[in-house]
Amino acid sequence: MRRSRAVVISAAASVVLCLIPSASSICDVHTTRIAPAQEPLSVGCTFYVVYPGGCQIRDGELIAWHGYNIGASSRAWVVWSLESIPDLAQVDSVEIELYIFPSDDPYEPDHQTQYRRMTVHPSTAPVCEDLYDLLQGEVYAEHPTGPSEGLQRHVLGGSVVADVEHQLVHGDWFSIAVTGDPDRMGMAGFSGWGAGGPELIVTWVDVSPSEATGWGRIKALYRS
C-alpha cells in the first residue's frame, strides 16, 4: 500500500527534565498538527440507503457526511500520515480539530458526533458494505454536534494513545471513523481533505537517550 504524503501544519517543542529508568535524559515535548494527505479518499464516507438498497463510497474532498436519517445513513473516516513523528515517540495526548456542518432536515438538538477506532486502513476494504461495517469501532470520544456550524476541538480517549504508538512502529498512518449516534436522527458534515481539515493534534515526547551534548543542555537549564 502506498504511503500518503504527510501534511504537517505546525510543530512546537519545549524542553523538560524527565526520568528514564536506564539513564538521565532530556525530554523534548512536541505538539504536531497533521492534516490529511491532499489526495482522494484520505477523507471519505460510506452512504448507505435502505430502499431501494445500496452502498456508495464517496470521496470527501470538500465535505464528508455522517449520521442517520430516515432510510439512509452515512459513516465517515479520516486518514493521516504519522511519518513526521519518530517511531519510538512516547505519545501523551491525541486530539482532533475539525469544522462541523450540522444539517437541520431533520435534526435533533441532542445529536452526537462520535469519533471511533479503526483497526484497518479504509483502502483495504474490498466493498462498500465491508467498509461501512468497519466504521463502528470503540468510541474514542463523543460530543454534541451543536446546532450551528463551527470549529470544534476534542481530546480523544480510550485506547487512542496506545493505538497511535502502535501505528508509529507498524504502519506510519492512523485512521479514525466519524459517525453519528445510531440512537439519534440527524446528519452532519465536516470539512474534507481539500478544504482545511480535519487535523490530528499529537503531543508526544522524544525519549531518546541523551548523548554528551545532552548534559550541556541540562546544565544550561540550571544556569538559566
Listed residue (191, 216, 205, 220) closest to 45, CA to CA: 191
Q: CATH number of the domain at 108, please.
A: 2.60.120
CB-CB neighbours of 219 under 10 Å = 10
Listed residue (150, 35, 68) closest to 101, CA to CA: 150
- 18 lies in some domain: no
The DSSP H or E segment spanning 30 is strand 23-35
The count of domains in the chain is: 1
- 111 lies in some domain: yes
- 207 lies in some domain: no
Per-residue pLDDT of the chain (224 residues; tens, 9 = 90+): 334 444 555 555 544 445 443 333 456 789 999 999 889 999 999 999 987 779 999 999 999 999 988 888 999 999 999 999 999 899 999 999 999 988 765 556 678 899 999 988 998 887 999 999 999 999 999 998 877 789 999 999 999 999 999 999 998 899 999 999 888 888 899 999 999 889 999 999 987 665 434 444 444 444 44
- 205 lies in some domain: no
Reported pTM: 0.81
